[in-house]
Chains A and B, each alone.
Chain A
């Protein structure tokens, strides 16, 4: 490395699941590494996304379980949901993990700089808002990895307001429980918040432009989730576009296209996509190209500017923490002279922690058919799974899409309790390029819900045993 010319071998801008993992891997490989983060280590995922939402949803699960305790022969009084205690726990979980990330970075010898960074030309990183006045205002790095992530898309007329318009940040630190809520966007984030607030007694409307909830999921899964949410008491407005919003007397009036309905609610929760954080990074001083708020890269994160890389949400969909982390490792290994394999987008699993949970990896049935593949589809319902019956939660099913010719597992889709913990089984099978034969020959332990994964493959070949 050019130790004479550069202060660091690698500088990472942004400390989320892409950036901090990039820094860790670079340090592991013996590169002198700096990580610049303007806010909290761990990024949105750890502080305002994946993790704190899971903490809140866990509270909702506990509440739901206690409410159904009599079904299990346990008599308890009516539970009382304490929103502020739930939020406090969620914040505590986030800060605990944040400290964990700080520890890992320190242990591996990454220099963490709390400041705002931008590119100042070839190899130069400028710093603003440096807490320590003695700290240098710029440094040189041989390689710069941009990992600044993304933020919620703000809808016109719906600026964030802790009292009435919530984006994820407000929704994770609510000061009160509104009687009514309109959730705009039925993607993973919208559906998860809807599940949480509904469990706490909020009357929830979900508005989605697409004709189904969780649009990237397999249609059967979307249908099942929509039915489940409706059955729980949420109101779904699918294929509906918001055309106006007015607030008067503490109540939002949300007009949907076609004038069919006007929804009223005290709080509007917006989860309508994200935009990449590409501004104020000094990209205009480089050859880096930005398209629709995302930086254009090759499969290993290289941008059009030599020495400048971009990973994670900033580099485009799918917007998933584990995608960012994987890209980080591949990008750093390529920088270090290795020959990593770029991420295969079709093999990235995705999870939604609604109630019921949803998980998938690979192609939906419709996508597989659209690619001209002859497919075999297998399904297995949890109502036929012994463990699910014993647990008292038989909602949902497992569906697999197999290539009829080669036996390749093209896609796997699940809805039901804790399916997010099972999808990796199929992800491993896909990664190792298992065929139906290998999956059939794999022994799944009894009694587990995972047996449904085995049976779903068997059922694709009309060999299911418990159907």
Chain B
């Protein structure tokens, strides 16, 4: 009996995911536990593992395309099955007739003792309209504790409900699959590669590393970046920060920069946009992502509605997000979305740098260190004052140079006159 492979819920509250690549081609044999495809949401690429064995029939969603969670992405045929009426399958034909009908037809002949465990469980029924997955409370909890997405699991309970044994079986398969895939991955690393000399080690890529690599490559190669640079005088902002911190609240320069970005975005709505193939999305509010370096790589948690929040609130939220990011405890909704990213390497003494846009956003601000520089003062004088160089990277598909320049000017004015804009 052919079954449909459905897009699993890769992480909580993710509505859709992209098939990065199919690991099997149509006609390939699939064993239970085999990776059939790589799928990806904003921050994670995961293996899509088939719960049952068979042969990959038709691929319904090609690589590079997105599908809603629960949507059929391929047909899995039983061994020996040639092809099936995919339309009928999609129309939701139940896996078998009711028991009464089976009974009146009668068993074909004396059954040989077959272990019940060998029976294939039907995929769990998911009401795709509401996204509801039927699972027992215990199954839900066990899956949540293991970080296992429930949709896509085969349910063996009444009416295909996902029960404890299904989650345990999936976890057992995942554990069993791990040691077998790891050697394959290392085997892919070319052993006598000229890049490696004795003493070098090959570190297999983490999923997060692969995601960073793929997304930034995609960004740099498909988004037409242009760059604008500005130098900001920092004496007023530094003084303001000193006053705030002397008043007993700790606020960082970066917190003020994030707030200033939001103020400038609200001032210059042409910068507060996102490019999509269908339309330009103009954002009503300012959700600002903050680049955070963690032991496993870069991640960009989002501070929502910065334009509506006080500086101290923004500061507290950033502190919490950064702490959670470093502990690896961010939930997907905490790093997904956002219309603009701030990346600050000033603390490492970097004077200036240009950042790669964090897709699907349209701009990123690269912030350098504050340092005392000699600058031209009024009437031909020369003065030494704290300065900060920022570099704005912009998606030219969505934003033209003049709009970006206006925004950068607005941002610089907020930074140089922080009191009026921020308080």
Contacts and interface: CB of A to CB of B under 8 A. Distances in A.
A304 interface: yes
B138 A434 contact: yes
A338 B102 contact: yes
B30 interface: no
Given A298-B116, A299-B116, A342-B116, A407 B141 contact: yes
Contacts of A302: 111-114
A161 B421 CA distance: 103
Given A29-B103, A299-B115, A341-B116, A433 B110 contact: no
Interface in B146-203: 156, 163-164
Interface in A400-438: 405-408, 432-435, 437-438
Contacts of A300: 116
A336 B145 CA distance: 39
Contacts of A433: 136-139, 163-164
A437 B112 CA distance: 43
Contacts of B139: 433
Contact of B111 (A297, A306, A437): A306
B314 to A, nearest CB: 35
B116 A336 contact: no
Nearest to A408: B138
Contacts of A307: 110-111
A143 B110 contact: yes
B95 to A, nearest CB: 9
Chain B: number of interface residues, binned into ranges: 20 to 34
Contacts of B96: 339
Interface string B30-43: 00000000000000
B46 interface: no
Contacts of B110: 123, 142-143, 306-307
Given A303-B113, A405-B145, A1 B107 contact: yes
B402 interface: no
A9 B106 CA distance: 9
A143 B115 CA distance: 18
Contact of A434 (B102, B115, B116, B137): B137
B103 A336 contact: yes
A333 B102 CA distance: 10
Chain A: number of interface residues, binned into ranges: 35 or more
B105 A337 contact: yes
Interface in A96-130: 123
Interface in A184-234: none
B138 A406 contact: yes
B129 interface: no
Interface string B123-141: 0000000000000111101
Nearest to A300: B116
A333 B145 contact: no
A341 B159 CA distance: 12
B111 A334 contact: yes
A236 interface: no
Contacts of A303: 113
B222 interface: no
Contacts of B13: none
A297 B111 CA distance: 13
A174 interface: no
Nearest to A31: B103
Contacts of B141: 406-407, 435
Contacts of A270: none
Contacts of A341: 116, 156
Contacts of A147: none
A431 to B, nearest CB: 9
A432 B156 CA distance: 13
Interface string A330-361: 00011111110110000000000000000000
Nearest to B98: A338
B156 to A, nearest CB: 7
Given A142-B110, A405-B145, A29 B116 contact: no
B138 A142 contact: no
Given A306-B110, A306-B111, A408-B138, A337 B116 contact: no
B117 to A, nearest CB: 8
Nearest to A342: B116
Contacts of B117: 299
Q: Which among A334, A337, A342, A405 has the highest number of chain B CB atoms within 10 Å?
A: A337
Interface in A27-57: 29-31
B82 interface: no
A206 to B, nearest CB: 39
B277 to A, nearest CB: 44
A179 to B, nearest CB: 53
A292 interface: no
Contacts of B248: none
B99 A432 contact: no
A237 B100 CA distance: 54
Contacts of A9: 106
A29 B164 CA distance: 30
A117 B93 CA distance: 44
A2 interface: yes
B103 A435 contact: no
Nearest to A333: B99
B138 A338 contact: no
A152 to B, nearest CB: 30
Q: Which among B110, B156, B163 has the highest number of chain A CB atoms within 10 Å?
A: B110
Contact of A306 (B104, B112, B163): B112
Contact of B107 (A297, A336, A408): A336
A432 B136 contact: yes
18 contacts: A29-B100, A29-B103, A30-B104, A31-B106, A142-B110, A143-B110, A299-B115, A299-B117, A302-B113, A336-B99, A336-B103, A337-B103, A337-B107, A406-B142, A432-B137, A433-B138, A434-B138, A435-B138
Given A337-B99, A338-B102, 8 more contacts: A2-B106, A31-B106, A299-B116, A299-B117, A336-B106, A338-B103, A406-B145, A407-B138
8 closest A-B pairs by CB: A307-B110, A302-B113, A433-B136, A433-B138, A1-B106, A29-B103, A337-B102, A336-B103
Interface of A: 1-2, 9, 29-31, 123, 142-143, 297-300, 302-304, 306-307, 333-339, 341-342, 405-408, 432-435, 437-438
